[in-house]
Amino acid sequence: MNSEARLRTEVERAARSLGAPESFVPVLERPRDTAHGDWATNAAMALAKPLRRKPLDIARDLLAAMNPGAAGVAESSIAGPGFINFRLDAGHLASTIATVLAEGAAYGRSNGGSGRAVNIEFVSANPTGPLHVGHGRQAALGDAISSLLAHAGWNVTREFYYNDGGGQIERLCDSVFRRAVGEPLAEDHYHGDYVAEVAAAYLDAFAGRESVAVDAARERLRAGWEADGQLRDDVRRFAVGYLRREQDTDLKAFGVRFDVYYLESSLYTEGRVDDTLAQLAKAGHAFEQDGALWLRTTDFGDDKDRVMRRSAEKGGEPTYFVPDVAYHVTKWQRGFARAIDVQGADHHSTVTRVRAGLQALEMGIPVGYPEYVLHQMVTVVRGGEEMKISKRAGSYVTVRDLVDEVGRDAVRYFFLMRKGESQLVFDVDLARSQSEENPVYYIQMAHARLSGIFRVGEMDPASITGEGLSWDVLSQPEERELIKALVDWPALLAGATDALEPHRVANWLHDTAGLVHLWYHKHHVLGEPDAIMQARLALAKAARIVLANGLDVLGISAPERM
RNA sequence: GCGCGAGUAGCUCAGCUGGAUAGAGCGUCGGCCUCCGGAGCCGAAGGUCGUGGGUUCGAAUCCCGCCUCGCGCACCA
Give CA–CA dist A427/A480, Å, rounded: 36
Give CA–CA dist A496/A19, Å, rounded: 35
Give CA–CA dist A58/A79, Å, rounded: 12
Task: Judge if the beta carbon of A83 is closer than 7 A to nucleic acid strand B.
Answer: yes
CB A112 within 8 A of CB A375: no
Average pLDDT over residues A58-87: 90
Q: Which amino acid is at A445?
A: M
Given pLDDT bands bounded at 50, 70 and 90, which one contains residue A283? confident
How many alpha carbons fall within 13 Å on the CB side of residue A397?
Answer: 21
Residues 6+ apart with CB under 8 A from A21: A50
Is pLDDT at A435 greater than 60 in this prediction? Answer: no
Task: Judge if the beta carbon of A263 is closer than 7 A to nucleic acid strand B.
Answer: no
CA-to-CA separations, A152 to A113, A420, A438, A498, in angstroms, rounded = 6, 21, 29, 9
| Model pLDDT for residues A528-549, shown as the tens digit of each residue | 999 999 999 999 999 999 999 9
Average pLDDT over residues A550-554: 96
Nearest nucleotide to A452, CA against C1' atoms: B36
Closest CA to A218 of A227, A230, A236, A205: A205
| Model pLDDT for residues A238-262, shown as the tens digit of each residue | 999 999 999 999 999 999 999 999 9
Sign for the CA dihedral angle at A181, A185, A186, A189 comes to positive
DSSP readout, A301-355?
A: T-SS-EEEE--GGGTSPBPTHHHHHHHHHHHHHTT-SEEEEEEEGGGTHHHHHHH
Q: Which residue is nearest to nucleotide B32 (CA to C1')?
A: A521
Which A residues 513-532 have CB within 7 Å of strand B?
Answer: 514, 517-518, 520-526
CB A131 within 8 A of CB A254: no
Closest CA to A109 of A451, A562, A549, A557: A549
Task: Judge if the beta carbon of A49 is closer than 7 A to nucleic acid strand B.
Answer: yes
Closest CA to A161 of A337, A397, A347, A401: A347
CA-to-CA separations, A549 to A100, A397, A445, A449, A546, in angstroms, rounded = 11, 32, 15, 16, 5
| Model pLDDT for residues A159-207, shown as the tens digit of each residue | 999 988 888 899 999 999 999 999 999 888 998 899 999 999 999 999 9
Task: Judge if the beta carbon of A424 is closer than 7 A to nucleic acid strand B.
Answer: yes
Nearest nucleotide to A55, CA against C1' atoms: B57
Is pLDDT at A16 greater than 70 in this prediction? Answer: yes
Average pLDDT over residues A264-284: 93
| Model pLDDT for residues A85-112, shown as the tens digit of each residue | 999 998 889 989 999 999 999 999 999 9
Average pLDDT over residues A427-444: 78
| Model pLDDT for residues A107-165, shown as the tens digit of each residue | 999 999 999 999 999 999 999 999 999 999 999 999 999 999 999 999 999 999 998 88
CB A392 within 8 A of CB A192: yes
Which A residues 120-159 have CB within 7 Å of strand B?
Answer: 126
Task: Judge if the beta carbon of A244 is closer than 7 A to nucleic acid strand B.
Answer: no
Average pLDDT over residues A59-80: 90
Is pLDDT at A436 greater than 70 in this prediction? Answer: no
Give CA–CA dist A338/A28, Å, rounded: 31
Which A residues 201-230 have CB within 7 Å of strand B?
Answer: none
pLDDT attached to residue A349: 87
**In chain B, which nucleotides are within 7 Å of a protein Cβ?**
2-7, 12-17, 19-27, 35-42, 57, 70-77
A223 CA from B27 C1′ (Å): 62
Is pLDDT at A434 greater than 60 in this prediction? Answer: no
Which A residues 471-510 have CB within 7 Å of strand B?
Answer: 492, 495, 498-499, 501, 503-504, 507, 510
Task: Judge if the beta carbon of A167 is closer than 7 A to nucleic acid strand B.
Answer: yes
DSSP readout, A141-156?
A: HHHHHHHHHHHTT-EE
| Model pLDDT for residues A494-508, shown as the tens digit of each residue | 999 999 999 999 999
If you average pLDDT over every residue of chain A, what do you get? 92
Is pLDDT at A476 greater than 70 in this prediction? Answer: yes
pLDDT attached to residue A369: 94
In this prediction the ipTM stands at 0.94
Pairwise pLDDT comparison (A390 vs A290), residue with the higher score: A290
The pTM score is 0.94
pLDDT attached to residue A70: 84
Is pLDDT at A229 greater than 90 in this prediction? Answer: no
Average pLDDT over residues A348-369: 93
| pLDDT > 90: percent of chain A | 73
A132 CA from B14 C1′ (Å): 26
Q: DSSP strand E in A171-268: where?
A: 260-263
pLDDT attached to residue A499: 95
H or E, element range at A415? helix A408-416
Nearest nucleotide to A523, CA against C1' atoms: B36
Task: Judge if the beta carbon of A439 is closer than 7 A to nucleic acid strand B.
Answer: yes
Task: Judge if the beta carbon of A346 is closer than 7 A to nucleic acid strand B.
Answer: yes
CA-to-CA separations, A433 to A136, A292, A405, A427, A438, in angstroms, rounded = 21, 57, 10, 10, 9
Average pLDDT over residues A465-488: 91
Q: Which residue is nearest to nucleotide B20 (CA to C1')?
A: A80
Task: Judge if the beta carbon of A384 is closer than 7 A to nucleic acid strand B.
Answer: no
pLDDT attached to residue A165: 81
A340 CA from B72 C1′ (Å): 20
Nearest nucleotide to A323, CA against C1' atoms: B77
Closest CA to A379 of A136, A55, A177: A136
CB A413 within 8 A of CB A382: no
pLDDT attached to residue A327: 97
Task: Judge if the beta carbon of A183 is closer than 7 A to nucleic acid strand B.
Answer: no
Q: Give me the domains of chain A, ranges plus CATH numbers.
A: 3-88 (3.30.1360.70), 436-553 (1.10.730.10)
pLDDT attached to residue A432: 77
* Torsion-angle region of A212 (φ positive above 0: left; ψ -120 to 50: alpha; else: beta): beta
Task: Judge if the beta carbon of A398 is closer than 7 A to nucleic acid strand B.
Answer: no
Given pLDDT bands bounded at 50, 70 and 90, which one contains residue A418? very high
pLDDT attached to residue A433: 62
Q: Which residue is nearest to nucleotide B24 (CA to C1')?
A: A511
Average pLDDT over residues A321-332: 96
Given pLDDT bands bounded at 50, 70 and 90, which one contains residue A437? low
Task: Judge if the beta carbon of A45 is closer than 7 A to nucleic acid strand B.
Answer: yes
